[in-house]
Chains A and B, each alone.
Chain A
Amino acid sequence: MPRILIVEDNPINMKLAARLLEYAGHEVLQAEEATAGLCLARERQPDLVLMDIMLPGMDGVAALGELRADPATAHLKVAALTSYAMKGDRERLLEAGFDGYFAKPIRHKEFLAGVAGLLAGNPEAEQGRDR
C-alpha cells in the first residue's frame, strides 16, 4: 500500500487531502510544519510527499531543498500542493525541483489520477489549472 506524506498547515485542507488519499487506498502520514515533515520523511520513507508551499517557519521550497540535501530523503518524490495558482507558479515550482504540482482547490478525480501517475513513476503527471 503506497505511503504518502502530506505537509500542510491548514488542518481542514489537510483533512481533505488525507481523506481523498485514504479513499483511494493509500496510507497517509501528516505533518503540520516543514521540520516535522522532514523528520517523518526520513524515518518513514514515504512513496510520495505532498508539500504545501506557504508553511509557518520553513516554507515548502526550503523544505524541498532540505529533503534533497539529505541523502536519506534525496530520492523521495515530492509534489507541491499549493494555493499558488497564478500563471507561472507551476513552472516556478517545477523548476525549483518538485516532481509534481497540484493547485488548490483540488478536484478529487484529477488529484487522485495525478497522485497515481506520480506513484507509477510518470514524471509528467501533474495537475492543476493555473490562472
Chain B
Amino acid sequence: MQATSPVSPEQSSPRSAARYFVPALLLFAVVWLMPASPQLFAPADYLILHNFLEFFAIAISVMVFAYGWSAYGASQLRAVTVIAAGFLAVALIDLAHMLSYTGMPDFVTASSPNKAIHFWLMARLVAVLSILAVVLGRFPQRAYGPRSRLALFGSALVVSAACYYLVLFQPQLLPLMFVPGAGLTPLKIGLEYALIALHLAAMLLLVRRPGRSGLPGESRLVAALGIMALSELCFTLYTNVHDGFNMLGHVYKAVAYYLIYRSVFVASVRLPFQQLKASEAALKQSEGRMQNTLDNLIEGCQIIGPDWRYLYLNRVAVKHARLPLEALLGRTMMEVFPGIEQAAIFAALQRCMERRAGERVETEFVFPDGSRAWFDLHIQAVPEGLFVLSSDITERKLSEQVREHDMRLAFLRADVNEALGQGKSPELMLRRCMDAISNYLGGACACVWTSGQQALELRAAAGDCPPQLRDRIERVEAGEHEAGLVAHTRQPAVETRILEHSGQSGEADAFAGHPLLIGEELHGVMGAYLPAALAEDAMEAMQAVAAGIANALVRCKVEEELRALNADLEQRVAERTLQLEAAGRELVHKNLQLMTANQLKSEFLANMSHELRTPLNAVIGFSEVLRDGLAGELNPEQKEYVTDIFLSGEHLLELINDILDLSKIETGMMVLDPEPVDVESLLGSAQTIIREKAARHAIRLGLELAPDMTAIEADPRKLKQILFNLLSNAVKFTPDGGRVTLGARRVRRADIRLPDNMPGHFFPLAQAEDDEFLELWVSDTGIGIPQSRFEHLFQPFVQVDSSPARRHSGTGLGLAMIRRLAELHGGTVGVSSSPERGSRFVVWIPYRHAEHASPRLRAELPSAHMPADAVRPQLALIVEDDDRVADAIARQLHKEGYASIRAATAEEGLVRAAKQRPRLITLDIFLPSADGWEFLSQLKANPAIADTPVVIVSVSSDLARGLALGATRVLQKPFTQDELAHALAGIAPRRTSPESRTVLLVADAQHDSDMLATRLMDSDIEVLRAHTGQEALASVRRKLPDLIVLDLSLPGMAAFDLAQALERHPETASIPLLALTGRSLTAAERLRLNGSLLEVMEKASFSVAGFAAEVRRALNDTQARQEDEPCRAS
C-alpha cells in the first residue's frame, strides 16, 4: 500500500490521534478511581440508555456502510469498501445484540445476557477484523469493480446471517459467557482481552506505519481503535450490566464508531468534494488564461462552427470584421457577409472544413461597403469547426503593389525617354514608345495614330493585338470607333466592352486612349486595348507619355521646317543669341555692382565714424582737460564755457553713435545678442541712470512692475538703450515737479493695444509665432504730443517742436532707434498722448522665456538676499508717514530678512528706536512736524542708539546732507529690491562684525592730528597715527587700515611718495585715501593721487564735524565697494 493520498489535507499523525484518545483515557482513569461508583443507574433506566447508545452505534455503522456503498469515482477506495462491508455486518449483528439485551422483549428466543454477549462479541470481532483487513491488506488506491463490490457486501450479509443462525437457533454450540449471580465467565473476559489485543495490534500497526490504511484522516481510525480497546477493557471490568464500566464501554464504543464514520466520510465525501472544487478552479483559471491569450493575440483569432456560425472572435478579429462583436457571434458568415460564398476566402474555408485540414492563404476581401482589405489567414480544422488566425496585410500589399507599379512606371519613363531622345526617325520613336507602353501594360495592344486629312492614320502598334481588332485599328475615320472618339473629344477616354455589340469578345475588351495635344492642336491619338479598364495612376502615366509623344512629334516637324530655313536666318538667330549673351553679361555685372554697394555702404559708415571721431577727440579731450583743471585752475566763467564745449562734444558723439546705430539697423548690420535678462533688474538699472537728472527737476520716478516677471531672452544692452531713451525723453519733456512712471507687464498678442483714455497710435505687429509679449511703458505728466505728430514721431530727426529755437535738446533719433530696436526684437512700439495729460510710450518685446537665469545677473545680487543671521529676523524701524509707502518698505525689508516696526512721526520714531533698539532704521525726510533731518540729529545725539544704521528713503536725493548727518545710505524712492539689497549689504558687516574699523591718520602738524584723532575717537573708529611716510608704511604693514587720511602738507614729496608706494602693492592699493590739503592741487599732483584718491578736502572749507562725517561716509562706501568687488570681477 502506498502512502496516504497526496491530496489528503488530513495527515494522520499520532498527535491528532492523541487528541481523541487522551481524553478518553482520562475519563477511564476517573471512573476507575471513583471509589463507590459501580451502581450508577437503576436497571430499568439503564436499558433505555443502553438501547440509545447501541442505536447510535448502529446508526453510525449503517452510515459507514451507506457511504462506502455510494462512494463515487476516485474516492471509491477499496479500503472504504471493505470497512463499509464490515460495518454492514456490524450494524446487523449489533441490532440483534440490542434486541437480545436483558429486559428487551423476546427476539425469536428469550432475551438473556448470554445471547446479547454472543451477538456483542461477534459484532466486535467482525468490526476489528474488517479494520485489520484494511490495515494489513494494503489495498491499492483504486476502486473495486462492481462485481467485487457486490461480492463483498454479499459476504457481509452472509456473515451476519451465520451469526443470527448460530445465536438464535444453535445456542447450545456456543460457550457460556455469563453466569447469573457469578458474573462473567473467564472465557468471556479472555475473549475481551483477545479483542483488546486485536484492536491494539491494529492501532500499533497504524501508528508505526502511518498511511497503511490508505484512508485519509487515518488518525481518527487510530483513535477509534484505541478507544475501542478501552471500551473492551471496560467490558472486562464490570460486575453488573448496569454499572459504570458497562456504560462507559458503550459510550466508548459509540465514540469510536463515530470516529470511524468520520474517517470514512472524509475519505468518500469531503475530500473528493474538495478535490473537485480545486480542479474546477484550476480548470477555470486555465480556461481564463487561454481566453486572455487569444483575446490579446496581435493576430485576429476566430472559431467558426461547422454551420459557419461564428463561435468565438478575439478583439483583433472583431476589428478585422469591421462589425461589433454582437453582430458577429452566433451568426453565420453568410448572414454577416452576404455573398461571401463567392469570395476566395470562403473557398479556402470550405476546403479546410471538408478535408478537416489546415491551409494558409493570402487573400483580398471585399467588404459589403465596397472597401477592400488583404488578409493573411491561417486556417486549421479543429473539433469545434475551424480555427482561423488572421493578420491584416493590406498596407504591406498596397505598398507592394505601389512598388511594383512604381517600378513598371520607372521602366516606362526610361523607355519612353530613351525613345523620345533618339531623334532619328519619328517612326522608330513611335514604335519604341508603343513597345514601352505595351510592356508597361503587361503586353497589351498599344497603338498610336496621327491626324491625317480625314482620318487617323495608324503609325505604330505593339504588343498582342488580337485579329478581331484589326479593322478598328488600321484606319479610323473621324469620330469612328474609340480612337476616333478620343480625337473628336480631345479628352482621355476609357471604354469598356467595346466588342460586345459586335458579338465578339475576348482578351482586349477595354480601351484607354489619350489625345496627342499641343495646346489646342491635335496631332494624333494614342491608345491601348486591354482586358479591363485602366486604373487612374496608369491613365496618368499614359497621359504623360502622350504629352511626350506630342512634343516629340512637334519637334520632329519643327526640325524639318528648320532644316528648310535658309542660312541667312540661321545667321540672324546667331546674331540675336550674341546680343542676348551680352545683355546677360551686363546683368551679371550690375548684380555684382549691387552687391558691392552694400559693402561700400558699411565701409562708408566705418569711415564716417572714424573721420568724425578724430576731431571730436581733440574737442572732448582738451575741454575735459581744461574743465578738470589739469591745465591750471580756470575762473568760473571760463570753466562754464569749457564745460559747454565738453558737453556739446559729448552730444555730438552721441549723435554720431545714434546715426551709426540707425544706419546699422537700416543696412541690416545690427545683430541682436540675446541672453537671459532679468526684467526687474533691467528696469531698476534703467531708472538708476536717470535718477539724478530726475531729482534735479524734482520729478518723481515711479515703478509699476507686474509680479509675474521672470527672466526673458533678449539683448539686454538694446533693451537698456530703449528704456534709457524713453526715460530721458520723458524726464526731458516733463516740467519740474512732475512724475515719470516706468512699468512692465506681460500681455498676450491679442491684448496688444494702447489705453483707451487718450488718443494714440501704434505700429502693427509683424506676424510671428510669439504669442506673449513684454510690455514696457513709460508715462509722464509732460507737455504731451499733438495727435497729428504721432506717426512722424518715430522717424529719424523728428521732434515735436521743430522750430529753430526748440527748448529741448536731443538727437531726435531716440524714438526712431527705439522703434527699430523693438522691431529688430520682433516687437513694436506705440504712443498715446494728449497735450494736457502727458504721454505714454509703449514698447512690446516678445516674451521669450530664458532657459536659465543669467549667472551674471544673479551674481550682481549680493548675498544680502540671504543675510548671514537670517535665522532670527532682525528688527527694522520704518519712520514714514505714508501708510502705503511704509507697507511697501516693510515688504521689501521682509524679503531681506527683517521684521519691521513702524513710526509715523519723527518723535514717535525716536521713542521706539530708544525702546526697541532696532538693527536698522529707514527714514523718510518729509515728516509731519519734525522732519527727517531733525530725527537724524537727535538720533545721533543719543549715544545709546547713535550707531543704528539709518537708510534715508526719500524722494529727495540730498545725498551729501544725509550722509553728513550720519545716515548710512540714501535710497531714492521708489527703489527696487536690488537697490535695497545693495544698501543693506553695506550695513550687514557692521552689524555682524564686532571689529571696529581702522583709520590711519598721516599728518605732520601735531596739533592738527590731535584734534582730528580726538574727533574720530568719539565714534567706534580706531585711529592709528603716523607722522611720516615711513611710519605710515610701517603701520600699514602691521595692520591694513580701512581708510587712510593723508595730510598732503607732509614735508617734501612725502605724501605723494607714500601714495605711490601704497599703490605699488596690490593689497594696499585698494585702501582709499582721503587727502587733506591747505592749497589747490596741480594737475600732476591730482593725477599722481588719482588711483585710489577718494576725496580731497581743502582745509580752507574744513570743519571738524564735516570731517568726521566725511570719514564715516568714506568708510561706509569702502565697505560697500568691497562687497561689490567680487561681483564686478565675475
A interface residues, Cβ below 8 angstroms from B: 10, 12-13, 15-16, 19-20, 23-25, 54, 82-86, 103-109, 112-113, 116, 131
Contact = CB atoms under 8 A, between A and B. Distances in A.
Nearest to A53: B610
B605 interface: yes
A82 B614 CA distance: 8
Given A16-B618, A16-B622, A131-B660, A104 B613 contact: yes
Contact of A105 (B620, B630, B1087): B620
B618 A12 contact: yes
A23 to B, nearest CB: 5
Nearest to B1086: A23
Contacts of B622: 16
A23 B661 contact: no
Given A105-B653, A131-B661, A23 B613 contact: no
Contacts of A84: 606, 609-610
B621 interface: yes
A86 B605 contact: yes
In this complex, the member of B611, B660, B1087 whose beta carbon has the largest number of chain A beta carbons within 10 angstroms is B1087
B1090 A109 contact: yes
Contacts of B1088: 25
Interface in B622-639: 622, 624-625, 628, 630-631
Contact of A10 (B614, B628, B649): B614
Nearest to A24: B1087
A84 B607 CA distance: 8
B1090 A23 contact: no
A105 B1084 contact: no
B809 to A, nearest CB: 19
A10 B616 CA distance: 12
A86 B625 contact: no
Nearest to A83: B613
A104 B614 CA distance: 7
B1083 interface: yes
A104 B617 contact: yes
9 contacts: A10-B614, A13-B621, A23-B630, A25-B1087, A84-B610, A105-B620, A108-B628, A109-B1090, A112-B1090
Nearest to B658: A131
- A15, A24, A83, A107: which has the most chain B beta carbons within 10 Å? A83
A105 B649 contact: yes
B619 interface: yes
A20 B649 CA distance: 19
A86 to B, nearest CB: 5
Interface in B1029-1079: none
A110 to B, nearest CB: 11
B610 A54 contact: yes
Closest 5 CB pairs of A and B: A83-B613, A104-B617, A105-B620, A105-B617, A16-B621
A103 B657 CA distance: 13
Nearest to B657: A131
Contacts of A12: 615, 618
A106 B625 CA distance: 11
A85 B605 CA distance: 11
A84 to B, nearest CB: 6
Given A19-B625, A105-B619, 6 more contacts: A12-B615, A15-B618, A16-B621, A16-B622, A104-B616, A105-B617
B1087 A23 contact: yes
Contact of A86 (B609, B628, B653): B609
Contacts of A82: 610
A112 B610 contact: no
A86 B616 contact: no
A105 B649 CA distance: 10
Contacts of B653: 105
Contacts of B649: 105
Contacts of A112: 1087, 1090
Contacts, number: 80
B609 A16 contact: no
Nearest to B1083: A23
A23 B1091 CA distance: 14
A82 B653 CA distance: 15
Interface string B368-392: 0000000000000000000000000
A106 B618 CA distance: 9
Nearest to A12: B618
Nearest to B1085: A23
Interface string B583-608: 00000000000000000000001100
A7 B732 CA distance: 42
A17 B611 CA distance: 18
Contacts of B1084: 23-25
A117 to B, nearest CB: 11
Contacts of B1091: 113, 116
A13 B618 contact: yes
Nearest to B613: A83
A16 B618 CA distance: 7
Contact of B614 (A13, A25, A116): A13
Nearest to B616: A105
A27 to B, nearest CB: 14
B625 A108 contact: yes
Contacts of A113: 1090-1091
Most buried by A among B605, B625, B661: B625
Contacts of B611: 83
Given A16-B621, A16-B625, A86-B660, A105 B1090 contact: no
A103 to B, nearest CB: 8
Contacts of B1087: 23-25, 112
Contact of B613 (A85, A109, A116): A85
Nearest to B656: A131
The residue among A24, A104, A105, A131 with the most chain B CB atoms within 10 A of its own CB is: A105
B222 to A, nearest CB: 105
Contacts of A105: 613, 616-621, 649, 653
Contacts of B1090: 109, 112-113
A16 B1091 CA distance: 21
Nearest to B652: A105
B609 A106 contact: no
Which of B622, B649, B661 is packed against the most chain A CB atoms within 10 Å? B622
A97 to B, nearest CB: 20
Contacts of A10: 614, 618
Contacts of A86: 605-606, 609, 660
Contacts of A116: 1091
A90 to B, nearest CB: 13
B762 to A, nearest CB: 29
| Residue of A13, A82, A116 most packed against chain B (CB within 10 A) | A13
B617 A108 contact: no
Contacts of B605: 86
Nearest to A25: B1084
Contacts of B660: 86, 131
A104 B616 CA distance: 8
B66 to A, nearest CB: 113
A25 to B, nearest CB: 7
A25 B1090 CA distance: 13
Interface in B460-478: none
A25 B615 CA distance: 25
A92 to B, nearest CB: 11
Contacts of A20: 621, 625, 630
Contacts of A25: 1084, 1087-1088
A73 B302 CA distance: 97
A112 B625 CA distance: 12
Contacts of B661: 131
Nearest to B1088: A25
B621 A83 contact: no
A86 B656 CA distance: 11
Interface string B754-765: 000000000000
B617 A13 contact: yes
A108 B1083 CA distance: 11
B52 to A, nearest CB: 121
Contacts of B614: 10, 13, 83, 104
